[in-house]
Amino acid sequence: MKRYVLLDRDGTLIRDAGHPHRLADYELLEGVAPALKRLADAGYRLAIVTNQSGIGRGYFGYAEFQRFHAHLLADLSAAGVAIDATFLCPHMPDDQCECRKPAPGLLWRARDELGADLAASWLIGDSERDIEAAWRAGCRGAVRVGVAAPRASADPLTLEARDLAEAAERILGYGAP
């Protein structure tokens, strides 16, 4: 079993322009690549878990998703960051699937397909759906990014951070389980 940091995509790694899928909308958020490199250098594997209801809504197809996502992966690879896999849910919120966060299905796929030890893994995302998925899947902890004024939580392993760089710092502060 391996320790992972499971990453939401839109709003966590890239600017969320509302169902981003056109290369013209692509913008890697500041500090993402160095933060991911720090996590990887500390022994965490990396994977992406992303809701992509734009596919289910007909805003774009898998080919457009793949082209856009390949651009992200190439950017990260050029910075020395390896992403082991991407797990996506194409369903709409009302579809009642097991893979759309906050359901834990995408995280369970990471466990089953990658050997992710969820009890030793973290999830970083920009919404409460991400945090809930982490807890439902049994992750060690979760960090919500995009918080202007991070505050302490009643649960010491539910963290807040301004951005991915701060999230990485917070996770690394906990050390190995």
What φ, ψ does residue 123 adopt, rounded to 5°? -120, 135
pTM of the shown model? 0.94
Catalytic residue among 10, 16, 126, 130: 10
Per-residue model confidence as pLDDT tens digits over 8-46: 999 999 999 889 999 999 999 999 999 999 999 999 999
Q: SS3 for 94?
A: helix
More confident position, 177 or 42: 42
CATH number for the region 4-174 comes to 3.40.50.1000
Confidence of residue 147 (pLDDT cuts 50, 70, 90): confident
Query: Is 8 considered catalytic here?
Result: yes
Residue of 8, 16, 126, 130 with catalytic role: 8
- Cβ-Cβ contacts under 8 Å for 23 (sequence gap 6 or more): 67, 68, 71
What torsion do the CA atoms of 57, 61, 110, 83 make, to the nearest 10 degrees?
-130
